[in-house]
Structure 1
Amino acid sequence: MLHEILLSLSGVQSPIWDQGRLPGELNGQTFNQYVSPPERAMLESLAHLQRLHVQVKHATAQFTKTHESMVCRAVSASIADVHLGNFMDKIVQVETSILKKDAGYVGAYGIVPLSTIVSDFAPWTRRLEWLKAVVEQLNANSQPTRPSAPGLLDFLEKETHTGYSDIEEMAVALLTVAQRAWMRIASLWILYGKLSRFGPHDFCVKENPQASSTIDTFLLDQLLVPKFVNTAAAQALCSTGTALNQLRSHGKHATFSLKTSSDPAMTLLSRHLKLLESLEYPLNPSLLENVFLSINSSISENALSQVLPRALVMRLLQVILRYVLLDHGEFAVSLVAHADDRVMNRQHAQTAVRPVRRIGKLDDLAVKDAEINSILSKTMAELAALGVDDDVEEEVFLFAKQILSLKTVDVENGSHMVSTLLPTTTFLYITIPPSSPLHIFLSPQDTEVYALLNAYLVSVYRAGFHLSGLWKLSGHRRSYPTPLGPPRSASKAGHAILAARRSRDTRRMKRTRRHWTVASKALFLVNELEAYLQGEVIQNSWTQFHRWLEGEDAIVSPKSSRPTTSSSAAQSRTTGLPDGTSGLGSSDTNVRPSDPRLLAEAHGIFLQGLKSGLFFTNGPFIQTMKTLVTQCDHFNALFSRLQVVWEGLDLQEDDGVVDAFSSYEKDEREVLSEMDRTSDAINASVIQLVNKIRELAAEMRTGTGADDTQQNPAEARWNVTTFVPWQARTVDRLVMKLDSLAERHEDEGNGLDDAGQYDDD
């Protein structure tokens, strides 16, 4: 009987337990007639132990072969081989002791007390019940909200804090096995930047299905992050493999050799492997975080910095500052001038026959790609003719010629976009070659944002440029006819002609006086807004970013709110170059950040702060600004059309030159009527824009409209240096300058209503 009990405990099916449950048990028949009730109770505990062993054994055998998680497979195999093996060893040890007639088991007359066997196996009941609970954790269906591998790791870590020493030892042993299996999967990612094909459901780093570049190819799945991997360690883990993947991707397209003949990531492999081997299990979260941060820092300092030198990043930033953000004033002037020449050549034949309400609106005028490319080529050629100050600026200029390009885009919803450079929506893009390592620093999303910002800034500058050009139309403002000359000037007819001409010009001046007032208001608004955007936001944001790049933490002092020209800003731009002899970073004590990923992260924060400072994140403001610049283009075209009409009327009235195909009097009435309507719309748009700026100022004072462009502590913890962007505390100075525009219309009461009456069609 004892042999049968021990054999059944080892997992072999035995009829002894089935007979004990037969209905004849109540009548004292079969097996139960030989045992007393106390013995039956002890046998029931052994039967429960046998059932636990069989259930755990069968479950582990199945999970070890079929489970999709490699971590769960490792834990299942460890349970079957180690812990159930210990139970089998215990059975063999008990049976051996009985056969050897050990006094601890065999009493007088060779009797083996059943209570001794039960008491010897009693601790294993608790252990096998716990193992059964672990096996249940291996079942993915039992955890609908948590995947099996991270759920198992968290469960084992929780079970290490128990009051039973034997359960704690088993939990620590299984947790060590699970963590080793997880680290084997993670080591392939940490050392080589590759995702393991085995156990893809265990690792927390996944491929991004919507990736647009090598920067965001991978992402963290928070559901798969175990608890022993804190936020900083998880960020460093994702960043490490992503950097190695970027190095490998760059190596496939690179057309130049690195400073070393071998892959820099492979030269660091032995050092990183030693760091991983130094870990002790169970893993300590703090030590694991330190190891991940050390490997991440090592890759940044020794591998990425060789592929993407800091000087190349600084050169790209100079191109962005000078040409994309229009710090180079001559570039904006030349670009707008060449674009206007191209448009005027295309629309010259259509101007005379276009309806009055469509004058200046060239939505139906298509510009070819070849024409767009010629605009930028002529602009760069003109800048090259002006010359550069030194070799450093020449390098930046040549680099800008390589990566800048004008492209047309198809925009379905352009409500949050201002682009008036050409009739076709055109952006100035930064085109980085596939072989360039700059993809590590500048993402396609950043390129798109810079294209939008450039179109917005160019549109504002173009509006001011065209409005100021109205004052070149001297015939509209300073046309006071002089006498005809002797002898006609002395005759009555000459006096009558002179009086008629002066009366006509006086009437025209009075008729267009309100239009010149509106043009003056719009020009004042555009100039002050441009001065704020260029002189304060862009200049201060760049200075703050540059000081951080040079390792300085000083606060940026306010600058003049007037934009700088190319000559006056040459010295300040030179300080932004890494090879400059003068500038903010001349001190050797400053630690300049060289990690490309840290630079990319700081640049992302800088770009977000710049968008907020330029009001580009405020949709209603951008929409109102778009309406205003469109109305200004139409207004400028109406002035030009009116000049043509008046010249025709003058020839008709003074010299008798009649154009049979034109009705200048009718055209004059239509143009002046449209100018009245457009003037009211521009007035309303100006008031709306001033009110929007007032609302932004109020939001800045209360803090309700501030954008959170800084990192939270959990995300910034793994970075030694965190960049804090420049943020305008208030726009009170801009509001005070623009208040006079709105005060003139407070008594009218209908200024805002006229905006809705303006129809682009």
Structure 2
Amino acid sequence: MLHEILLSLSGHPSPLLAADHASHASILSPPEKALLSSVAHLSDLHFKLIAHTNTISTTHSSSICQAVATSISSTHLGKFQRKVLEVEDGILRKDSASVGAYNIVPLTAIVEQFSGWTRRMEWFLEIVDFMMRVKGGKCSGAVVIDKLCNAIQTGYVDIEEVALSLVKVAETAWLKQASAWILYGRLPSFGREDFFVQTTEENSEEYQTESHLLPGFVSTSTAASLLFIGRSLNHIRVKGISNSTSPELSLLSSHLQQLSMLKFPINSANFSRTIASIRLSLSQTTLQKLLPLSRVVEILSLLREFFLLGRGEFAIALISEADEKIRSRWRRNDNLAYDKRDGLGNIVVKEGEVSGILTRTWASMGSLQRHQEEQDEDEQLELARDLLQLVITKTNSITPSKPISIALTPFRNLLLSVPVVLTMQIPSPLDLFLTPSDLQNYSSINAYLLSIHRAHLRLTDLWKITSLRRDHPSPPGPPYGSSTAGQNKVHTLRARANERSEAMRSVWATSSAAVFFLGETQAYLQGEVVKGTWVGFKGWMSGNTSSRPTSSKGQDGDEDIWMQAGRSFMHEDSSCTHDPQTLADAHKRYLDALATSLLLTTASFTESLYHLLQQVDHLVALVHRVHSIWESLDLEVDEGVVDAFSDFHKEEKDVKEQLVVIAGRVKSAIEELVESLRNIDQDKEGWDNGFEELVLGEEGAYVPTKVGRVDRLLMKLDFGGWFDVKKRDENVLEDSDEDD
């Protein structure tokens, strides 16, 4: 019986312990049944642990889970096996701890020697089942590390000891994986899907952190530093910049020593200090030479000028070339049904035509530069010509990055009949600083600002159609002007002009209000939000840690400040020592604050604005159409030029009816936008929400400048009683309905 018990405890199934002793025919006494039951439970735990740990060690996708399972099997189950051998050896040596008088071996003495193992084996089985059960056997190493660290807080000393040993094993395995990334910029060869750094779906050479794969002792800022260190080393290695004398290779031993000095369980503060030290040494020796701050200044200035419409002539030239392309396509297709559609959806523009629009834009800007008095070469323009691209994109292909919740309003559909975005090739080594997600955010902001500017330009161009605004026919010259027929002709022409002027009165009033609204909104977004946020970010980079503009004089001297900042960046003794990752983090905060202050994160505003811009396009198209119809009617009546294939009188009636409807829609859209701005101002959306998490931070960290209060815009958007007229009309209609 003792032999069977010891064999079963060693992990071999025993019929003695597996048999049912509950029947009355059993020869065992109740105390013996209870003792055998506890032995059978311990044997079953041991047997399951052997099977489960073997399965995890050979098939689990996580190297950390494999290491924990192997440690349980080889270390802790090995100790249990040695305990079984010690008990057996004591029985054979007739040790008094196991053998009593007359060489009798009490069953209670055997069971008592294994009493301390039951709780540990149950806890081991809980950990093993957890690793096999989570997500269908795909438990991540980070989750296991966190569970083991929580188990250290138990009140049982024996559980605390084994948990500490397993924590050391798990964190050592995780640190071994992370070391390949931290020291060489390489993803682990095994268990890559369990590592916290993953390649993006869009680009296999771009990396991102997965927060659910990070252990609890890795903070968010430390995870960003880990990603930056690995990306930088990977970039140096992939681009072939590294060689045998590269500084980063000489730092390997120092960095490895810092990692080896970490104590287990890993403390979050100590780990953060170690990673920060590695990042700083790498930045000071390699990255600041590879990516000087003057280069960062140059590319950020380019993004400000072209993506954020710092250069107004670029936006105007791009909009003009795009509109000219659409008009040429309509003329070529000989399609006159311009009033039968909403927007430009019936025209299909190809990729080559889109790139040609940008090419002609550069040519237009170059021609403008040649006509200016200053003949100095514009290096920024040449750099933009090499890097910027105008491309067609799928409707759902551009998604903002995770930190910025930009509303998915398709402003990129307004420039042409297809969704197009302005993007840029990220030259090496600037991809250490700029990410594709940053460019996506810049493209979204550019499409937003450009669409507002485009609508404002198209509306103001209506005032260039002089015959629609001022048409008071003068009498013909004598002697015909003095005759009765001449006077009747003048009366007829003036009556026709008065009728047309009356028909266009509401259109001009609505267009004027829309021009005022778009002009003030554009001035607010460009003059206060974009410029104010940019000046604050620029001041922080140049060494002003307050990152806030101190006076309007500083805002006016953009070029001088940039020249001073660029010169200070070039000097080694400059007090501004922002490393590349600090700049990248600050840049993301800058983009976050910019999108929030531009109200791009408020879907209620962007959707209403997009609706207004669509109606403005429709209104402009109808005005041009009615002008074309009236010119044709004048030729038909005055000169006798008749188009047999067109019924201009019917078209005139239809277009005039549509003008009334669309003018009402524009007015309603403006009213809805003003109401949305009032709600935003009341709820403080677009102001406090974008800065709550940015106010507190380490000393010298970038804090976005608080600009663009919505109430400043609302004070300018005072339409008097314009909206009240509509309300009065609605009340009159309601009263008339009640009377009926």
TM-score (norm 1): 0.76
Contact 1:331 1:379 in 2 (8 A): yes
Q: AA paired with 1:661?
A: D
CA apart distance, 1:592: 4.9
2:586 to 602, 610, 613: 602
CA distance in 1, matches of 2:483, 2:558: 66
Letter in 1 for 2:544: E
Deviation string 1:653-703 (CA, Å, 9 cap, x unpaired) is 55xx31132699x62563365245324422432333233233333333333
Listed one character per residue, the Cα deviations across residues 353-396 of structure 1 (whole Å, up to 9, x for unaligned) are 62462389543233343333232222212323344999998332
Contact 1:541/1:726 (CA < 8 Å) preserved in 2? yes
CA distance in 2, matches of 1:711, 1:214: 34
CA distance in 2: counterparts of 1:239 and 1:679, whole angstroms: 59
Aligned partners of 1:14, 1:631: CA distance in 2, in Å?
81
The 3 A distance-change label for structure 1 pair 661 and 334 is: same
Change (3 A) 1:182 1:450: closer
Paired residues for 1:26-175 under 5 Å: 52=42, 56=46, 59-60=49-50, 63-64=53-54, 67=57, 68=60, 69-79=65-75, 83-84=79-80, 87=83, 90-91=86-87, 94=90, 122=112, 124-127=114-117, 129-131=119-121, 133-140=123-130, 143-144=133-134, 147=139, 153=145, 157=149, 160=152, 169-175=161-167
Q: Secondary structure at the match of 2:677?
A: helix
- Which residue does 1:701 correspond to in 2? 682
SS in 1 for 2:390: strand
AA paired with 1:358?
K
Write the letter of the residue equivalent to 1:280.
Answer: K
**Residue of structure 1 in register with 2:704 after alignment:** 724
Residue 210 of structure 2 is matched in structure 1 by 219
Task: Give the residue type in structure 2 aligned to 1:609.
Answer: A
Q: Distance in 2 between matches of 1:640 and 1:21?
A: 96
| Separation in structure 1 between the aligned mates of residue 731 and residue 324 of structure 2, nearest angstrom | 35
- What's the secondary structure of 1:540's corresponding residue? helix
| Pick aligned residue for 2:386 from 396, 402, 406 | 402
Quick check: 1:240 aligned with 2:226?
A: yes
3-state SS, counterpart of residue 339 of structure 2: helix
The answer to whether structure 1 residue 474 and structure 2 residue 466 are counterparts is yes
CA contact (8 A) 2:358 2:389 kept: yes
2:537 to 540, 545, 568: 545
Q: Name the CA shift for 1:575/1:123 in 2 (closer, same or farther; >3 Å).
A: farther
Note the C-alpha offset of 1:126: 0.8
User: Match of 1:354, SS?
Assistant: coil
Structure with larger Rg = 1
For residue 736 of structure 2, what is the aligned residue in structure 1?
none
Matched with 2:404 is none
How many angstroms does 1:485 deviate by?
3.7
- Alignment CA distance shift 1:264-1:27 (3 Å): closer
2:363 paired with 1:376: no
> In the alignment, what sits opposite 1:312?
295
Q: Partner letter of residue 252 of structure 1?
A: V
Are residues 1:429 and 2:401 paired?
no
SS for the counterpart of 2:411 is coil
AA aligned to 1:670 is E
> More deviation in 77-86 or 373-382?
77-86
Partner of 1:733: 713
For residue 658 of structure 2, what is the aligned residue in structure 1?
677
The one-letter code of the counterpart of 1:220 is: S
- The superposition leaves residues 419-454 of structure 1 with CA deviations (integer Å, 9 ceiling, x where unpaired) of 466542253422315x63333433333333333332
- Residues 304 and 595, structure 1, Cα contact 8 Å, conserved in 2: yes
1:571-582 matches, cutoff 5 A? 571-573=557-559, 575-576=561-562, 580=566
Superimposed CA distance per residue, residues 172-196 of structure 1 (whole angstroms, 9 cap, x where no aligned partner)? 4454344434433443343334444
CA deviation digits over 1:474-522, x for unaligned, max 9?
Answer: 2333343444345545555555544554454444434433332232222
Question: What is the CA–CA distance in structure 2 between the aligned matches of 1:176 and 1:128, rounded to whole Å?
Answer: 23
State the Cα RMSD in Å: 5.1
Please give the alpha-carbon distance, in whole angstroms, between the structure 2 residues aligned to 1:320 and 1:592.
22
- Amino acid of the residue matched to residue 460 of structure 2? S
- Does the 8 Å CA contact 2:388/2:422 hold for their aligned counterparts? yes
Evaluate the alpha carbon distance shift between residue 478 and residue 587 of structure 1 in structure 2; reply closer, same or farther with a 3 A threshold: farther
1:12, 1:466 → 2: CA distance? 84
d(CA) in 2 for partners of 1:23, 1:470 = 99
Does 2:210 match 1:230? no
AA of the residue aligned to 1:703 = K
Instruction: Compute the displacement of 1:328 (Å).
Output: 0.5
Query: 1:697-732 deviations in whole A, cap 9, x for unaligned?
Result: 33333336667445859x998998354364533334
SS at match of 1:221: helix
Q: Please tell me the residue identity of whatever aligns with 2:679.
A: A
8 Å contact 2:17–2:40 — kept in the other structure? Answer: no
1:745 aligns with 2:709: no
| Residue 321 of structure 2, aligned match among 309, 329, 338 | 338
Q: Aligned partners of 1:344 and 1:211: how far apart in 2?
A: 35
Distance 1:179 1:545 in 2: 39
Listed as ranges, the matches of 1:452-463 within 5 Å are: 452-463=444-455
The 5-angstrom pairing of residues 259-270 of structure 1 reads 262=245, 265-270=248-253
Q: What whole-Å deviation, never above 9, does each CA across 1:78-103 have from its counterpart, x for those lacking one?
A: 4357633763685588579769xxx9
1:287 aligned partner: 270
Instruction: Note the C-alpha offset of 1:638.
Output: 3.9
* 8 Å contact from structure 2 (residues 524, 708) kept in 1: no
- CA-CA distance at 1:601 after TM superposition: 3.5
Which amino acid letter does the alignment assign opposite residue 360 of structure 2? Answer: K
Give distance in 2, aligned partners of 1:651 and 1:104. 123
Q: CA deviation at 1:273?
A: 0.9
Q: Give the counterpart of 1:187 among 170, 179, 184.
A: 179
Distance of aligned partners of 1:83 and 1:390 in 2 relative to their CA distance in 1, 3 Å threshold: farther
CA shift at 1:539, angstroms?
1.4
Q: Which runs of 5+ in 1 are unaligned?
A: 754-761
Question: What letter corresponds to residue 420 of structure 2 in structure 1?
Answer: F
Describe the superposition over 1:633-658 as per-residue Cα deviations: whole angstroms up to 9, x where unpaired: 3433444444444445555555xx31
Give the aligned partner of residue 661 of structure 1: 643
> Counterparts in 2 of 1:622-661, with a 5 A limit?
622-650=606-634, 657-661=639-643
Contact kept, 8 Å, 1:193 with 1:243, in 2: the verdict is yes
Determine if contact 1:237/1:292 at 8 Å carries over to the other structure: no
Q: CA deviation at 1:134?
A: 2.0
Gap runs ≥5 in structure 2:
399-407, 734-740
Quick check: 2:218–2:272 contact (8 Å CA) kept in 1?
Answer: no
1:402-434 deviation digits (Å, cap 9, x = unpaired):
12122233437998223466542253422315x
Instruction: Give the Cα–Cα distance (whole angstroms) in 2 for the partners of residues 492 and 12 of structure 1.
Output: 124
2:738 paired residue number: none
Checking the alignment, whether the CA contact within 8 Å between 2:548 and 2:705 is kept in structure 1 is no
Secondary structure at the aligned position of 1:430 is classed as: strand
Shift of 1:319: 1.9
Q: Does 1:593 align with 2:593?
A: no
Structure 2: distance between partners of 1:12 and 1:378: 81
- Paired amino acid for 2:579: S
Question: What secondary structure sits across from 2:514 in the alignment?
Answer: helix
Could you say which residue in structure 2 is the equivalent of 1:756? none
User: How far apart, CA to CA, are the structure 1 residues paired with 2:467 and 2:630?
Assistant: 9
| Rounded Cα–Cα distance in structure 2 between residues aligned with 1:82 and 1:391 | 83
Shift of 1:278: 0.8
| Secondary structure at 1:326 match in 2 | coil
TM-score when scaled to structure 2? 0.78
Paired AA for residue 593 in structure 1: H
What is the number of equivalent residue pairs in this alignment?
714
Distance in 1 between residues matched to 2:191 and 2:34, nearest whole Å: 41
Structure 2: distance between partners of 1:496 and 1:85? 121
What corresponds to 1:687 in structure 2?
668
Q: 1:122 to 1:531 in 2, by over 3 A?
A: same
Q: Determine the C-alpha separation between the residues in 1 that align with 2:230 and 2:523.
A: 44
Aligned pair in 2 of structure 1 residues 288, 751: CA closer, same or farther (>3 Å)?
farther
Task: Quote the residue 2:196 is aligned against.
Answer: 205
- Letter aligned with residue 222 of structure 2: A
Partner of 1:366: 348
User: Which residue, 511, 515, 521 being the options, matches 1:519?
Assistant: 511
SS in 2 for 1:407: strand
